[in-house]
Amino acid sequence: MVFLDIQMPGLTGIELAARLCTGPKPPRVVFTTAYEHYTLQAFEHAAFDYLLKPIGLERLQRTVDRLKQALPTPVPAADALQALLRQIGVGTPAPLQWIRAAHGQETRLISIDEVIYFQSNDKYTSVFLADGESLIRTPLSKLKEQLDPQRFWQIHRGVIVAAKHVAGTRTDFRGRLLVRLKGREEQLVVSRNYVELFRQM
| CATH number of the domain to which 107 belongs | 2.40.50.1020
- Show which of 34, 68, 87 is a domain's final residue: 87
In terms of domains, do 36 and 128 share one? no
Q: Answer yes or no: do 103 and 142 share one domain.
A: yes
How would you list the strands of the sheet with 177-181, edge to edge? 166-171, 177-181, 187-190
Q: What residues make up the domain containing 10? A: 2-87
- State the pLDDT confidence band at 123, using cuts at 50, 70 and 90: confident
**Cα 66 from chain centroid?**
19
Give the list of residues 6+ apart from residue 123 with CB closer than 8 angstroms, or none: 137, 139
Over residues 70-89, the mean pLDDT reads 58
Where does the chain have alpha helices with state H?
A: 13-20, 39-44, 57-70, 76-87, 140-146, 195-199
Residues 127 and 48 in one domain: no
Tell me what pLDDT residue 107 has: 82
Strands across the sheet with 152-156, in order? 106-111, 98-103, 132-136, 124-129, 117-121, 159-162, 152-156
Q: Are residues 136 and 67 in the same domain?
A: no
Among residues 67, 87, 107, which one ends one of the domains?
87
Tell me if the pTM is above 0.95. no
The reply to whether 92 falls in a domain is: no
Overall domain count for the chain: 2
Cα gap 22→26, rounded to integer Å: 7
